[in-house]
Structure 1
């Protein structure tokens, strides 16, 4: 879920309307609650909350049940940092029957105007991207296929066939410079491309590096403006919940997720506490 959400611009949170199933996901420690918090911290600012199984016998397209779910979710979404009026939209659907997915509802809940799922997805504004920025493509996977192939989504900049780039972090240095890789082939949706810009999901065949020297989370980046690599950094954290009996202090061990990086880390020092309302120390 984390690696998928880290590549997405918009989230679709699917909730079951069936009696008992929504409550299980919504209660403390439930998956609905967890996924909302993860989506927000991973940068998914826009969310479609899809209330599924509206056709279930325990629901039977009940507007009361739909309104109950929305009224419980709104305060939680707000407390998780979402601007509910601007960035969240609720939709009733039946995935089993395909109701309100491709075509608008007409026979169910007829007194209300519902947009269907595909409509709202097609109407989403594409977030601004920077095709002229420094090239950045976090690598989510790699494999061998007559050479070294890496996969990922371009976050910034533009890549062309024949470009020289860096894979960072990079353990190979020659004459004080990091060893460069060359772009041999770019595949976009399994079709060969000459160039690709931000927002594209790509497979890229590289020369100058072996597949075993690349890990998920490495970044393919520009030579002129390589991405910095660090072993320590200062972070601002929002603590959602801790394991039972755990104390968050120097020496606390955790797992860090950034785009496709999954890395064990340790808290070295707590610098200051920040008021979540004022954002001041």
Structure 2
């Protein structure tokens, strides 16, 4: 089944208790994704817990606009869960920044320990270039941000313009891809540019999680960043180095013939256990630039929001795509100017907040990353610093696990690619039917069936002209089937 609309992922970010979940849940409810009975149940349960205002906050799913299927990712606002926020942001095409306007709430969000500014900065660092809402930041272009004043509780400017905001004349954004304008949050979502990852590059799929589903088997779930994922493909998971065949691909319970960049999908694989492949792994085409474990990496970083000094040997947790791995700074190669990139100092003894540098890093556990120019989604990270990976020292590949379905698929592919050329060669050199029996009579019934079906299709496509040219060929195929 193909996709009727493009899928996009929206991350809802902001300070704790700013109204992210309530806004999201109310929007989903108004779009008709859930019924009134479910909302009433949530209202009753929330009231029993003394949290009556949470009746919309428990509704987290997906919604449909006139252009898109939208998957909602609700980021936690607590500072202690910043790792979870980074994981969600790694999958997003656009961020909705919720800013609470209440007295005291706004100040808390933009304070030193508030999450409003930090969430916006992390989203930009992790590749989210589209923002709905408003952020005041020196050097930031307000013309490309849709500012929408809303009430997540009272439904103001969610789906329809509100009479409670007569001063608001609508939002307008200007970009390289044209201008857009509107009044509501839903209209702003519809103006998000769809993901445009390259399909001509090798497959790169970032794993968010892995599930065991009865009757289906192991189902990894993740987002396609580059290339195309299709059923029947043989993929390799790194850094665990396991190769298997993809049996089926689905998104939102719909089977896909192919998944393109930007699609969040689940795909079933055989002979792979849940414990074999983990969150943070990378899946790619086993024959086209397969991923490998990184022994080390060189990165350009900017230190931010760090109270002390970072010396050689420091080992912060590095958040890169879906992976969270402690990485050691064995060498701080040079300090550079954060604007021009010009070298300021060789081998600095320490780095502090605001410094930019080129550093070597060594992962404490197996990890798969790539250089930023080659694969941007797998080449940017956040830790005590934000940065991009300039080079990766890949670990020498060792013999990994190749499942039986993958072996069969690879063998069948090799066989089917050789057989047509062999038969054409034999016929073009005047071989007799008896000689062909000797040459290909040992083939399995599956391959013989394939030969007959393929040549029949060719004949019916080309009709009479092909019948004369390939008459002898078809006789050979039929004879082989009865041999």
TM-score (norm 2): 0.49
Q: Is the 8 A contact 2:251 2:266 kept in 1?
A: yes
C-alpha distance in structure 2 between counterparts of 1:228 and 1:212, whole Å: 19
Q: Deviations over 1:203-232 (max 9, x none)?
A: 111124221111111111011211242121
Q: How does 1:115-264 map to 2 (within 5 A)?
A: 115-145=183-213, 146-171=216-241, 179-223=242-286, 224-242=288-306, 244=307, 246-264=308-326
SS in 2 for 1:212: helix
2: CA distance between counterparts of 1:108 and 1:88? Answer: 19
Q: CA shift at 1:161, angstroms?
A: 1.0
How many angstroms apart in 2 are the aligned matches of 1:248 and 1:7? Answer: 30
Q: CA deviation at 1:112?
A: 2.8
Q: Is the 8 A contact 2:224 2:261 kept in 1?
A: yes
Report which of the two has the higher share of helix.
Answer: 2
Q: Which shifted more, 17-26 or 88-97?
A: 88-97
In the alignment, is residue 84 of structure 1 matched against residue 147 of structure 2?
no
Bigger RCO (CA 8 Å, 6+ sep): 1
Deviation at 1:194, TM superposition (A): 2.4
**Native 8 Å contact 1:249 1:269 kept in 2:** no
Question: Could you list the per-position Cα deviations for residues 44-66 of structure 1 after superposition, in whole angstroms to 9, with x for gaps in the alignment?
Answer: 1221126xxxxxxxxxxxxxxxx
User: 1:90 and 1:153 mapped to 2: Cα distance?
Assistant: 28
Give me the whole-angstrom Cα distance separating, in 2, the residues matched to 1:43 and 1:116: 25
Q: What's the CA shift for 1:278? A: 2.1
CA 1:133–1:123: 2 relative to 1, 3 Å: same
Cα distance per residue 1:30-80 (max 9 Å; x no partner): 111221221121111221126xxxxxxxxxxxxxxxxxxxxxx4235x3xx
Runs of 4+ residues deviating >4 angstroms: none
Compare 153-162 and 271-280 and name the one that shifted more. 271-280
Find the aligned partners of 1:112 and 1:132 in 2 and give their Cα distance: 43
Give yes or no for the alignment of 1:113 onto 2:152.
no
Question: Structure 2: 5+ residue runs without aligned partners?
Answer: 1-84, 172-182, 344-483
Q: How does 1:14-25 map to 2 (within 5 A)?
A: 14-25=98-109
Q: Secondary structure at the match of 2:137?
A: helix
Check whether the contact 2:236–2:291 (CA below 8 A) recurs between aligned residues. Answer: no
Query: What secondary structure, in the 3-state scheme, does the structure 2 residue paired with 1:119 have?
Result: helix
| 1:152-201 alpha-carbon deviations (Å, 9 max, x no partner) | 01111111111111111134xxxxxxx52101121111122222111111
Q: Contact (CA 8 Å) 2:196, 2:261: kept in 1 or not? A: no
Change (3 A) 1:241 1:111: closer
Measured on the aligned residues, the alpha-carbon RMSD in Å equals: 1.8
Number of equivalenced pairs = 245
Whole-Å separation in 2 of the counterparts to 1:198 and 1:118: 24
1:269 is aligned, of 331, 339, 342, to 331
Distance 1:111 1:220, change over 3 A: closer
Q: Is the 8 A contact 2:94 2:131 kept in 1?
A: yes
Distance in structure 2 (CA, Å) of the matches to 1:205 and 1:234: 35
Aligned to 2:403: none
CA contact (8 A) 2:250 2:265 kept: yes
Task: Give unmatched runs, 5+ long, in structure 1.
Answer: 51-72, 172-178
Q: Contact 1:45–1:87 at 8 Å: present in 2 too?
A: no
- Highest Rg: 1 or 2? 2
Secondary structure (helix, strand or coil) at the match of 2:296 reads coil
Distance 1:184 1:234, change over 3 A: same
Distance 2:164 2:276 in 1: 58
Distance in 2 (CA, whole Å) between partners of 1:102 and 1:6 is 27
Q: TM-score, normalised by structure 1?
A: 0.82
- In the alignment, what sits opposite 1:68? none
